[in-house]
Chain A
């Protein structure tokens, strides 16, 4: 329980049983804006916003906000009337709320009274007056795909023209649309259009058994499968009142840090490549492959999918495995050190990295940016440091913070985090507590509410679940990319078009995790 949050809200709060500090606060619609403004004034931020259909309980609809104050979570639940589920726009208080509000409308019909009300996740696969997450909507309903025009904001002026990019991009990356308004090579404005990968994940969760849906959670964003599976398991274990064995928690941390290492290695290579140094890609991808191969050998999967399960982890790692983990960390620390020297000394590369795609700290704070992008723009938070969910409370994570907010800063943060993850992995390999690796939760009865919150390599992943007798009633999954995609639109302003791939890669945001 966070005294700071309850003081601010002056509202009755119920603690949520979770590995992270969290409270549940029901509030009247009339007080919504006041509460949000109060949290924002104290330096708090919006972690997620979603809706729910409660009409089967005669409670209309629900608007839910996950607010973070002092790295402690508040789940704010606001009932909305069934006949007119409308609420005031919050995007002026929390700019990142804008797209989440539009998604809540597309999926549930919850509508803001004012503000940007263009569709977001709904393209044309279902009609504007049909809402897939409403209870009467069957997941198999299909209306025939059509094409609808999307009203992009246009920029007018002498010599201004547009470059449309995507949804199918020129590399091996996910689909999305970027609309650049440019003069010459200079970008005046970028507008993203996402939602291409929307594949009914949240609807799929509904009706599934809590203990059997971890596979779906682990496939929300494949590059963050450990972060999602852990956040999901954390939420389920909270509902079940179960605590996984301590060895399982340490092994989860090992998996999460290896996920971070693999992604940072891949992205550092790709950043070198985008900066014109193909050597970097070849070298870092080689190291990433080494990590994936040891993952397959020790954890049973190259990307660690299905390793974290409610109640623990899927397999144990013995003494010999720990030695292998530690030995690989040592090799990697040396190799990455050599490559960092080469990157640092490479004038051509540094010329591309420095001052490119700057996101000022003040803007990062205003936009509610999270994760490594936030830490490269002077925002020093990381859920592994605070609230330091177990076992991170025993590992004392040291995070690197930069303030320049450019590609170079994001590269530096990635190097710092890579070295730190290798240190953590060595500590885990040395100090891994003895015991079981799984304690399956017993069957769950009655209503449940759970929250999971995990610092993945990209940023904080959040899972919020409401359940009935062990069956999922509503599961909302939130990717850090929701906060960071809008920041990319700002970081590109004033840069030239050819620098976009580099800037984009320095954030490397998830489309799948965002589109759900």
Chain B
């Protein structure tokens, strides 16, 4: 136990300044009124759905919770059920075998809800594109508010996209 406490003390606080939202990542007009956005009140529950990625995007999404990015201090937390979520963070491409599961997950999220498509594949279909097995980009299956490109996008870009999704038009 002493070693553990010593390690915590030696490590110190690694958390870095949070990035600003990037409104440039929006692909749809803000659908939510400012009052509704205020209701999120700096507390945003995210449900991640991997709809067919190579798992590269998942590696970066997992890094959001490491001490450097520490998104929980921004009021952003990942939840285990879509019913608890305000925002779906979806990686793609959406495989045909995941199409139904993604639609059902989207339906299970209570209104008002937001969707952030993650990665080049989530944004465009990427190297996998559309085929007998792939629906391509996330927007081909469910409505998307913000799309964050990158292969995979960095944790900073992900935070900028997530913040853009909960920022009113013209702000940020």
A interface list, Cβ under 8 A from B = 123-126, 132, 137, 139-143, 145, 147, 167-168, 170-175, 195-201, 203-204, 215-216, 219-223, 225, 266, 279, 281-283, 285-286, 288-289, 292, 302-303, 305, 338-339, 341-342, 345-346, 510-512, 515
Contact = CB atoms under 8 A, between A and B. Distances in A.
B124 interface: no
Contacts of B7: 279, 283, 338-339, 342
Interface in B53-82: 53-63, 65-68, 78, 80-82
A203 B148 CA distance: 27
Contacts of B95: 125, 196-199, 515
A196 B56 contact: no
Contacts of B152: 222, 303
Given A199-B52, A204-B131, A167 B98 contact: yes
B67 A282 contact: yes
Residue among A147, A168, A196, A198 with max Cβ neighbours from chain B (10 Å): A168
Contact of A147 (B3, B59, B100): B100
A124 B98 CA distance: 11
B3 A172 contact: no
Given A145-B100, A175-B51, 12 more contacts: A167-B98, A167-B101, A172-B50, A198-B97, A203-B132, A216-B127, A279-B4, A286-B67, A286-B68, A288-B66, A305-B56, A341-B3
A512 B57 CA distance: 12
Nearest to B120: A219
A279 B8 CA distance: 8
B61 A172 contact: yes
Contacts, number: 166
Contacts of A303: 56, 59, 152
Contacts of B99: 145
Nearest to A338: B7
B4 A219 contact: no
Contact of B133 (A125, A216, A282, A512): A125
Nearest to B57: A222
A16 B58 CA distance: 37
A174 B59 CA distance: 11
A269 to B, nearest CB: 9
A26 B14 CA distance: 59
A475 to B, nearest CB: 14
Contacts of B49: 168, 175
A171 B62 CA distance: 9
Contacts of A132: 132-133
Contact of B131 (A173, A203, A223, A510): A203
B78 A302 contact: no
Interface of B is mostly: mixed
Contact of B4 (A123, A140, A342): A342
B105 A168 contact: yes
Interface string B27-64: 00000000000000000000011111111111111110
A137 B127 CA distance: 20
Nearest to B64: A172
Interface residues of B, number: 51
A173 to B, nearest CB: 7
B132 A222 contact: no
A227 to B, nearest CB: 13
Contact of A302 (B100, B126, B154): B154
A125 B97 contact: yes
B148 to A, nearest CB: 15
B95 to A, nearest CB: 5
Given A285-B66, A338-B7, A125 B132 contact: yes
Given A288-B66, A289-B63, A200 B54 contact: no
B141 to A, nearest CB: 10
A199 B101 contact: no
Nearest to B79: A170
Contacts of B63: 285, 288-289, 292
B3 A342 contact: yes
29 contacts: A123-B96, A123-B97, A125-B95, A126-B132, A139-B132, A140-B130, A142-B132, A171-B48, A174-B53, A196-B97, A197-B52, A197-B97, A198-B133, A200-B134, A204-B131, A219-B56, A220-B54, A222-B53, A279-B8, A281-B65, A286-B66, A288-B66, A289-B63, A338-B3, A346-B4, A512-B52, A512-B53, A512-B54, A515-B97
A285 B4 CA distance: 16
A145 B61 CA distance: 28
Contacts of A142: 96, 131-132
Residue among A143, A266, A510, A512 with max Cβ neighbours from chain B (10 Å): A512
B93 A199 contact: yes
B56 A222 contact: yes
B12 to A, nearest CB: 10
A515 B152 CA distance: 20
A356 to B, nearest CB: 22
Contacts of A282: 66-67
Interface string B135-171: 0000000000000000110100000000000000000
Given A125-B97, A289-B63, A283 B11 contact: yes
Contacts of B61: 172
B48 A172 contact: yes
A195 B66 contact: no
A149 B108 CA distance: 22
A174 B55 contact: yes
B74 to A, nearest CB: 17
A125 B68 CA distance: 41
